[in-house]
Structure 1
Amino acid sequence: MLLAAVVVTAVSVFITVGAWRYAEDDARRSVETMGRQVAAAVLAPMSERNFVRLDDLGRGDLRAHIWPFLQAGTVQRVKVYRVHGALATVMFSDEPRVEGMSGRLDSRIAVRMAADDVLVQPAPDDADHRYESSLPGSRMEVFFGFRDAGGNDMRLELYLPVDVGATTRQTTWVLLPTVLFGLVLITAATVPLSVTLARRLERDRAAQRAARAYGLAASELARRDLARRLHDSVIPDLAGVGLLLQRAQLTDQPWPRHREFLDRAQDLLAGEVRELRTLLTELLPADPVGQDLRTALHGLAARILESEVPGPGPAVEIAAPGLGPLDEQPARILYRVAAELLRNAFRHAHSHTVLIRIAATDMTTVTMTITDDGVGFTPPLPPRPGHIGLRLVQHLIEDNGGRFDMTSTPGAGTTVTVSVPHTAARTSG
């Protein structure tokens, strides 16, 4: 509302200023046109008089010529100056009190009169124009140069009424409603677009806020998972190794008994090294996966099954018909996505079978589809903490210029399809 008020005020001010400028220019043109018409009627009899020797009879004759214009209100005041050097003297006027008044000729008027045969300007409001200032309304001066019968350099000055304010108001009242109505129409037409853009911006902001929240939550979940696995298996086993070594050191049993303690400690250490390597590999594969992504995913699925699922887990099938070596960057992205989706399928879907299919759909795109026959859910992505990885997978794919699609039905499993750009996708013969 505040912005709309500011716009309306600014538009109103601009229109008013423009209307005032237009009214002023229009007044000048009208005054010049009317002044030329009056001058055409009175200059001929004036040029036949010698104003230096003008008598009462001559004054009466001149007043008779200008009286119709004064009576009609076309002209408010008439003055005839004699210019002598820099001095100007009023020789004749419809106002007798100004006759004989002298003053210095305005140099600007002299220069402009020398360049133009007619000069139009606003009437000054000063002591020299005190008799004109008492006239009603506002007016402009029009000057014409001529020579009288005695060869004197003369100036005819006409005061013509103008009403710039009325013209400004009239023009403003004509233009302003039209312009404001046009602004209203434009605003109404752009409201849907503005609302759509605002909603899209808010969705983007909400997605960014959600991504940050999901990232923090996922980091916390990963930290807790690592802590649990270290606390439940690695640390107790390492503590057991320490106890076995201590017992072997303190026991007085014969050497075969020492050997038994050392063998058990060695087995525990070997198992925990494998567990630590599994943890590190799940975070980031140590070896390149682009040369043989199918084999890398087989190893990943086996490690996640071993660490996440007690007892027999779902059957994992991986199909990559004709898939050759991939660039390492998209291959690692698919590897990380597969790890998260497999972990979700093992933890939450309670599926019996998980199928992974990878194919180079064209020369620039690699697509991976993971399907499980688990419990499914109703999209959109469920907000439960255990499913935060799905949000992160979607953002990971989209941030790398790929596409993420998911379909799921309660009781009918879930299918996730991800596509990533690949500059050198190629298939083996």
Structure 2
Amino acid sequence: MNLRFREDGAATGPAPRETLKRALRWYLVWDLIALIGVVSGVVLLSWVVARNEALRDAEGIARAVAKALVAPLADDKFHAADPAALARMDQVMELRSRDGSLSHIKVWADAGNGKGTVLWSDQSPLVGQTFELDAEEYAIFGTDKATSQISELDKEENRLERSAGQLIEVYAGTRDATGEPILFEVYISTQRLPDEVRTLIGIILPLPLTAVLVLSLATLPLAVSLAHRVDRGQHQMRALLVNAVESSDLERRRIAQDLHDGVVQDLAGIGYSLDSDMRQLPEGAKLRAHLAQTGEIIRRDLAALRTLVTDIYPPDLVSKGLAETVRELVMQRDVPPGLVRFEIEEPLAPHPVVDRLIYRAIREALWNAVQHAEATSIVVRIAQDDTGLTSFEVVDDGVGFDPTGPSPEGHMGMRLISEMVTKAGGTIDIHSTVGKGTRLTGELPAGAT
């Protein structure tokens, strides 16, 4: 499990010019995406419109042929398969097929129960066979309605036509010369469909494309202005961050100085006085024992105050550097020998604000591990890449904690430090599992300075 102390959107980001360039790049990317979306939408719309128009045209042709040509020729002799009647149908349909308007024609009779029998077809092996029809197709027997679709020719009745690829399949209902319901089926080529799509694209596309381009050009100055405002805001945030870190160090130095020159000196003086007074009293006197106990308390508190002064006094990062200052942390408190191991990739380029923030984060994590984790091993790592990005890590094998529960003791200070690191453009992550230790990882870019 892991616990993250990162507030998205709080980072200061890159240098001003980089921010402007990045903002313009994103603006152009989104413009390009909008253009691609418009073009794709127009192409899709054109295809849908062209397909629907092609289907409507095919239905109109099928209804007209069914009513004007097929119905009059479908008389009793035609139903009886009279050769002369069939020849007349062959001749008429051949003329219609020859001009390219129709192909793969069938005339159906109602066979009942959702089935139809092929009375005539340009594919003679199909004549006389009965096939299952779709409910929508069967429903138009004896009506003047039509239904159409772009067919993949995957039905059993299409087994002789599959080599033609995609075709527009149209069923048109009518009644024959004797008044019996029949169904006229015809297939129409889709070869004209791409040309119609391209024509529609040429008609539809210019308007939305022009609108997007005009809108992009109109909003470009606003985008540049907002990017400049972001730059100024980042300048101010970086200045505030530097001031906050420096002010914090200054205040720490003042408090440490006041404690050292005031309370620490006073307690040390009181301790010396008590020792002097105690030695003037006879052995076994109650007051001597009382003064000895009081002196011990004062010496203990004095040691604690001196440790506190050492903790809060800002380290000399400028002259010693981050690596040496971090190594000296183990000398500030009573840390068992061998408990802490340092793995620092040197040399580290100095970055004042970055170094101070990393030092504070490592110190906080290290003291948490020493005081609360019951760890037997603690590893502190620091590395820096060619861009100046400094990464750091504190790993212990202690008791760990549950990130879903309340913040463990000592982690409030880490939460405050993580906020400062985040505002400097960096990150801090804490991963922990109960019984398996804790790992703090973080990084800070050189741009935080």
Greater relative contact order, per chain length (Cα 8 Å cut-off, separation 6+): 2
TM-score (norm 1): 0.47
TM-score (norm 2): 0.45
Larger radius of gyration between Structure 1 and Structure 2: 1
